[in-house]
Structure 1
Amino acid sequence: MTVENDAIAEVARRFAESIHAERAATLEALAAEREAAQRLLAALRREHERQTASATGAFIAGLLIGAAVGVAAVALLNPRSGRDIRQTLAARASVTRQSFAERLRAAIAAGQRAAAEREQELWREYRKRINEPPSSDPSTTP
């Protein structure tokens, strides 16, 4: 029986060594995969940053070119001088500012008038209800 026990022990030892070797190989493969994934993520981050910087630069360049074209178009196509345009814009701004202030004052006054009228209406209704005799019919009470 010892020969059988020794054989079983030997098979068990070899099996354990095999499993240990398989486990070590699996862990090494997983570590290599993890490292490769980290390198890939780093490369993707660098590419994203490069594209973002490129897109930002393209946007700013487009914005500047568009502004330059707009300024050139206004300068070439506008029949009035810069001084005339500035004076016109300043006059419009002051008129708009004044008209806004006037409209605001008028709106506030209208709101105050409407509130006063509603208050008087509510007081009239209150006095009317106070002076009415109590109703004996329970269906008419609010």
Structure 2
Amino acid sequence: MSLPREILAAYTARGWMIATAESCTGGMVGAALTDVAGSSAVYERGFVTYTNDAKIQMLGVSPATLECHGAVSEDVAGEMAQGALARSAAHVAVALTGIAGPGGSEHKPEGRVCFGLALKGGESRVETIEFGARGRAEVRAAARDHALRLLLNAAGGA
């Protein structure tokens, strides 16, 4: 069974809904979920917030957090996930922001992606994965797949 199908089955069994907040993947997590027929039973909505202004306006990310930590940070990923949860009827929200490439810097290298996961009731987690300079398409695909695994794990899956 594909990862999106496993997620949909796990969330359907729990009666849970999902929201996504994506930056560097531009909606790839939501697209992977909605590629599966019946996804409307669990996919509530997705936010594609590529710019800082979009993160502020659509998700309520603090301008001070962006200024202090930058868009590619666990602090911003956490606020994105909390914002998606607060602005939806979802039980779980996953967020990701990163540098897919090309480019990056010494302090924020290409392939760095920060993830946030927020669950209704208060639990939230953040983490950073260094995918490396694999190229834009590979970093984005790896980030999508990692976000999907976070969703599956949140529902008690694999």
Category of TM-score, reference length = shorter chain: under 0.3
**Bigger relative CO (Cα 8 Å, ≥ 6 apart):** 2
TM-score scaled by length of structure 2: 0.15
Larger fraction in helix: 1
TM-score scaled by length of structure 1: 0.16
Larger fraction in strand: 2
